A and B are shown apart, each in its own frame.
Chain A
Amino acid sequence: MVAKLKSKQDLEKLKKEIAAKREMEKPLIMACNGTGCHASGCVAVTAAFREEIGKRGLADKVDIKASGCHGFCEQGPVVVIQPGDIFYHQVKADDVPQIVDETVIKGSVIDRLLYVDPATGKKYVHPSEVPFYQRQRRIVFGNNGKISPDNIEDYIALGGYSALAKVLFDKSPQQVIEEIKKSGLRGRGGAGFPAGRKWESCRNAPGEPKYVIANCDEGDPGVYANRSLLEGNPHSVLEGLIICAYAVGSHQGYIYVRNEYPLAVKNAGIAIKQAEQMGLLGRNILGSGFDFKITINRGGGAFVCGESSALMASLEGKVGEPRAKYIHTVEKGLWDKPSNLNNVETLANVPLIINNGADWFRAVGTEGSKGTKIFSLVGKVNNSGLAEVPMGMTLREVIYGIGGGIKNGKKFKGVQTGGPSGGVIPESMLDMPVDFDELTKAGSMMGSGGMIVMDEDTCMVDTARYFLSFLEEESCGKCVPCREGIKRMRQILNDITEGKGEERDIELLERISAVLGDASLCALGMTAANPVLTTLRYFRDEYEAHIREKRCPAGVCKALLQYYIIDEKCVGCRLCEKACPVEAITFKGKKKPVVLDQEKCIKCGICKDVCNLEAVGVKPR
């Protein structure tokens, strides 16, 4: 039972004590336990390590930590062994005895578990050399790989909570606000509003009590950066939120976590308890006299609750309906009181700015976008995962330099950024720097950091239709433009993908888009047309092919294609015949191995999935 820390000096002392306890040479097995690695089997791997180390009587000689997400999810489960910084990928429970034998005990490297760059065939031992990591600048996310999220001492050992101590004893709230303003930190959740200005408005707004809220509702499909941050390094968010509360003058904070993130909820809860036990949260923090408590609220499965006024409504036990923000939530927010809401990534940057100074932060990034951003680089890219890059790096460098280019040697077509509120950026614009304003100029937006890479096999019309379906489901339904407008646009796009498109459809889509942008109640509606507008802007030829020629150039829209058997490649193994759910494939004997009945075919694609010889093709009807 740790005694509560009652001063800045107590914290310093504790940090030194922890450092002394930890022998630098003690071997450490760091097994990534982020949700991505969970899905690829890290729980079994971590358990296998504990068992193996226990079996050999090394439990007090070797440390095993289950860390937060390392970001290189494509290669999970990921394990890093110290000393030596040895990086193993796609580790299975069966590999564990060998790893303990050869790497942990003997210190040698197991070749077959090393990461191989698919582009060059080169093998890498250390994470810092791996191309995926090399070009990143992991000031916020890097600590994920060094700590166990359920152990506050790991965070303190790295200097955690020293920014809080500095703020509570050496800075006034106004000084903290000035520092954040000077740094140029802009919101990392979507709109990119300057954080310092928001804090200042909230501080100056009349009314008590004030509330501060950390938004981890991360609804953009395909993005899980916030999740991994809160899951893997919850204290970085807590520290940022406490500093924010001090600056704004709030004593009650909330962390709003999406319902679909159970591990993040759990780890944030553990972090809060441990911080409270140590006197870093709760009453009289660090003996400074400042009180602050944090409550965790889970979302209920509604994308719209990522919007600040809808989020606050759900914190009041009401449905997640946004309201007009002519009076900003910093003035009248939760329970009509001044409320400051920031994304968790924004908050995680705060301790770094306090410790290193606004000038240090400003040294990275572009004129209008300072610092770094964590991106969720997923889709048809070789290295899927979370990458933290300095603002200003080009899309090309991210997708090819870090992402390793397009999977299976296919051709790049576009990258979707900003989630359903954003748009698709074509190849011609790949040299665009990652920057709030540049992305907005191109018709997209930074959003929460989604970068979904699409290749020649992705249909842009289908992509627009997909986003509209998503928004149709997530619309709260309050205002006419969003509820009715998105539905009509989705219907039109459905028809286009089914070969029922008409010449006037594009104009109709543009008319409804204009109203969505002008007259919607909230940002969900206002940005809902972006996927359609950008795909129309950069891929109009695809729309025209669907409408005029009833053809899907990418070979995706089912109604416009047919599956067929490539006779020359077929050997009559009949796997497809067995797998076909509607018995559309029959075996005719040696001369013509299998026949696909087009009348019965429902274009499910299973025959293509199961064929090992690529003897099933897809072509326009």
Chain B
Amino acid sequence: MNKKVALAIDKYGADTGQLISILQDIQAELYYLPKEALVQVSAAMGIPLSQVYSVATFFRAFSLKPRGKHLINVCLGTACHVRGASKVLEQMERSLAVSPGDTTADARFTLETVNCMGCCALGPVVNVDGEYFGQMNAGKVNSLLAKF
């Protein structure tokens, strides 16, 4: 892990202004931000650990908990909302028995919400591992989950 973190830091020349980009690269590699990674970033870049931790907890893109195998993003943008996105989310919560931000007990799925993915014409939209599923409704949730 140390090497991957060091690579991410070096890619941006250890520039403190690029802290967020560096954390994003680390998360893309490790699927979340482990404590050791943040400690390493703090030491290597001379940024107080408390500041690194504040940044890691402020931005939604970052997860300090390991994520599941599949990342489910339910769009809650306004256009999807008026087309019934909240019902889709509620069914997801029921079927997976988790709340947004959490991972299922078997570590298969992590459920997140996002405020607009920008494909509003297809709303309500759910994105799983980068793949988009449009015109969702609560009734289609279980068959979607079964695909994974």
Contacts and interface: CB of A to CB of B under 8 A. Distances in A.
Interface of A: 35-36, 38-40, 73-74, 76, 219-224, 227-228, 259-261, 297-303, 314-320, 335, 376, 378-380, 384-385, 416, 419, 450, 452, 454, 458, 463, 466-467, 470, 473-474, 476, 579, 581, 604-606, 609-610
Main secondary structure of the interface of B (DSSP, over half): helix
Contact of B139 (A73, A316, A474, A579): A579
Given A222-B79, A452-B79, A317 B19 contact: yes
B99 interface: no
Given A319-B55, A604-B87, A259 B121 contact: no
20 contacts: A36-B118, A36-B119, A219-B115, A220-B116, A221-B115, A222-B120, A223-B116, A228-B118, A300-B20, A300-B55, A317-B51, A318-B55, A319-B54, A378-B78, A378-B121, A380-B82, A384-B120, A467-B78, A476-B58, A606-B139
Given A35-B119, A302-B60, A303-B115, A40 B134 contact: yes
Contacts of A318: 51, 55
Q: Please classify the interface of chain A as helix (H, G, I), strand (E, B), loop, or mixed, using the class held by over half of its residues.
A: mixed
A348 to B, nearest CB: 17
B91 A458 contact: no
- Of B81, B118, B137, B139, the most chain A CB neighbours within 10 A belong to B118
Nearest to B84: A605
Given A300-B59, A384-B121, A39 B77 contact: no
Contact of A454 (B58, B82, B115, B122): B82
Nearest to B55: A319
A73 B121 contact: yes
A452 B78 CA distance: 7
B78 A416 contact: yes
A379 B79 contact: yes
A473 B76 CA distance: 12
Contacts of A40: 119, 122, 132, 134
Contacts of A299: 20, 59, 61
A571 to B, nearest CB: 18
A607 B90 CA distance: 14
B119 A302 contact: no
Interface in B101-148: 114-123, 125, 132, 134, 137-140
Nearest to A416: B78
Contact of A222 (B114, B116, B137, B140): B116
Given A35-B117, A259-B24, A221 B76 contact: yes
Contact of A609 (B16, B54, B115, B137): B137
A39 B134 contact: yes
B139 A610 contact: yes
Interface of B: 16-21, 23-24, 47, 51, 54-55, 58-62, 76-84, 87, 90-91, 94-95, 114-123, 125, 132, 134, 137-140
Contacts of A380: 82-83
A385 B122 CA distance: 10
A476 B81 CA distance: 23
Contacts of B91: 581, 604, 606
Nearest to B73: A260
A297 B21 contact: yes
A616 B119 CA distance: 29
Contact of B16 (A223, A316, A458, A473): A316
A221 to B, nearest CB: 3
Contact of B119 (A73, A314, A450, A473): A73
Nearest to B133: A39
Contact of B59 (A74, A220, A221, A301): A301
A33 to B, nearest CB: 13
Contacts of B78: 220-222, 378-379, 416, 419, 450, 452, 466-467
B59 A317 contact: no
A385 B16 CA distance: 39
A379 B85 CA distance: 12
Contacts of B122: 36, 39-40, 73
Contact of B116 (A36, A221, A463, A604): A221
A89 to B, nearest CB: 12
Nearest to A264: B118
A39 B116 contact: no
Contacts of B134: 39-40
